[in-house]
């Protein structure tokens, strides 16, 4: 079946449909990871976006129940050069095509993803539409231009959990799968704010010795403090942090009272709570092969990233120092408070998919909690 991708600036890409049929809209971005498409599909941070995979062949390892990062798909559409229906993996239980259909995600294959990626890199991420029912370029471009910009959208409160819950599952073990960790082995009480939290972040916290209670995005700080946690964790998530004013005010109430660790959107929200500002990037950073420097050690880490906004560190020079820097575009990848036990990173130390170079950051959070217990 035919499918068409139209961008808001008028660029048209013609291909073939896979996954669900119909019409879908969102901000078109590109991801440079060579593997891990299932984790990409299930990352809540992609809500409202259509993801282009730059690697040429996608689908060859199928889909399995262990590699999900959330219990549903949040992205709007999936764009690949070549979809492979013949999958081969000992854990696979279904094809990518069937998975997208089951979850109602529209996909397009057979387009020149290199040309699309270069276009997005040069012109910037922009809204688009994939359709298997309307092939009129003018009509499609008109629809793409009618989509609200990602800037100004609070999407995190639409993907957060409804009620607090306890998490005890640790990191994957080849012999036993995901273990349930005994509560007596979890020394540090952590309240984790869910703005679209990935499951592997929770597993990393538990494996580091944290007794984790996950709470909704707008859970009152007063209620969280009543739990007497050793630390506060702020998760990843989708959308623009700036309109999340209720959440930002909430985070301010933890400053100076508890150690705080933020990742991705949590990092941005923390920056705003400390008095800084955020900016929207031209095309963002999405992938699992992006170099970052730890400014304290001068060591380079290869990291997983998924963000379209960044903290302006100059707006926080009164309170924070630069912790990590992106070596591709020199954007802020981490910060640490000059006096308080507070730090955050823009990249994903849990990876999934991606390298584990930054996994030590969970240990750093534990060290802060131990020091301020």
Q: Residues forming the annotated binding site?
A: 45, 237, 239, 265, 268, 306, 308-309
Question: Counting Cβ atoms within 10 Å, is residue 228 exposed (0-12), middle (13-18) or buried (19+)?
Answer: exposed
Question: 356 an active-site residue?
Answer: no
**H or E stretch including 39?**
helix 37-41
- Helix (H/G/I), strand (E/B), else coil: 320: strand
- Helix (H/G/I), strand (E/B), else coil: 221: helix
Cα 69 from Cα 91, distance rounded (Å): 16
Cα 192 from Cα 215, distance rounded (Å): 6
Q: Strand 342-345 relative to strand 260-263: parallel, antiparallel, unpaired?
A: parallel
Cα 126 from Cα 183, distance rounded (Å): 46
List 267, 324, 337, 348, catalytic entry = 348
Give, as one character, the DSSP assignment of residue 364: H
Q: How far is CA 58 from CA 85, 268, 290, in A?
A: 9, 31, 20
List 27, 242, 333, 350, catalytic entry = 350
Cα 66 from Cα 102, distance rounded (Å): 17
Question: 264 an active-site residue?
Answer: yes
DSSP one-letter string for 94-141: B-HHHHHHHTT-EEEESS-HHHHHHHHHHH--EEEEEESS---HHHHH
* Rg of the Cα atoms in the chain: 20
**H or E stretch including 57?**
strand 57-58
Cα 176 from Cα 179, distance rounded (Å): 7
Cα 38 from Cα 352, distance rounded (Å): 10
State the binding site for L-glutamine: 45, 237, 239, 265, 268, 306, 308-309
> 328: Cβ–Cβ under 8 A, 6 or more apart, which residues?
285, 290, 291
List 39, 264, 324, 325, catalytic entry = 264
Question: 286 an active-site residue?
Answer: no
Give the residue numbers annotated as catalytic, written as ranges.
Answer: 264, 348, 350
């Amino acid at each position: 079946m035919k499918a068409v991708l139209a961008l808001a600036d008028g660029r048209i890409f013609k291909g073939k449909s896979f996954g669900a049929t119909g019409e879908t809209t969102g901000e078109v971005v590109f991801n440079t990871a060579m593997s891990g498409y299932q984790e990409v599909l299930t990352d809540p941070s992609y809500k409202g976006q259509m993801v282009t995979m730059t690697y040429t062949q996608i689908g060859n390892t199928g889909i399995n129940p262990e590699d999900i990062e959330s219990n549903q798909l949040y992205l709007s559409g999936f764009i690949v050069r070549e979809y492979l229906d013949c999958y081969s993996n000992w854990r696979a239980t279904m094809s990518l095509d069937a998975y997208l259909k089951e979850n109602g995600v529209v996909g397009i294959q057979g387009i020149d993803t290199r040309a699309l990626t270069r276009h997005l890199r040069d012109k910037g991420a922009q809204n688009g539409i994939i359709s298997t029912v309307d092939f009129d370029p003018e009509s499609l471009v008109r629809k793409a231009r009618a989509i609200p910009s990602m800037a100004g959208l609070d999407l995190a409160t639409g993907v957060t959990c409804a009620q607090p819950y306890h998490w005890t599952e640790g990191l994957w073990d080849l012999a036993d799968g995901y273990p349930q960790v005994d509560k007596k082995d979890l020394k540090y009480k952590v309240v984790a704010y869910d703005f679209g939290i990935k499951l592997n972040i929770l597993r990393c916290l538990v494996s580091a010795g944290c007794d984790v209670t996950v709470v909704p995005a707008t859970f009152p700080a007063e209620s969280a403090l009543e739990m007497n946690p050793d630390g506060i964790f702020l998760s990843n998530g989708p959308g623009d942090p700036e309109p999340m004013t209720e959440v930002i005010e909430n985070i301010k109430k933890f400053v100076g009272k508890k150690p705080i660790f933020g990742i991705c959107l949590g990092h941005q929200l923390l920056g705003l709570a400390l008095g800084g500002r955020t900016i929207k990037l031209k095309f963002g950073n999405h992938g699992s092969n992006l170099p970052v420097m730890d400014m304290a050690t001068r060591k380079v880490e290869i990291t997983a990233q998924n963000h379209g906004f960044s903290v302006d560190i100059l707006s926080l020079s009164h309170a924070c120092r630069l912790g990590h820097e992106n070596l591709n575009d020199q954007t802020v990848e981490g910060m640490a408070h000059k006096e308080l036990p507070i730090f955050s990173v823009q990249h994903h130390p849990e990876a999934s998919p991606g390298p584990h170079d930054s996994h030590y950051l969970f240990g750093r959070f534990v060290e802060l909690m131990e020091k301020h217990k």
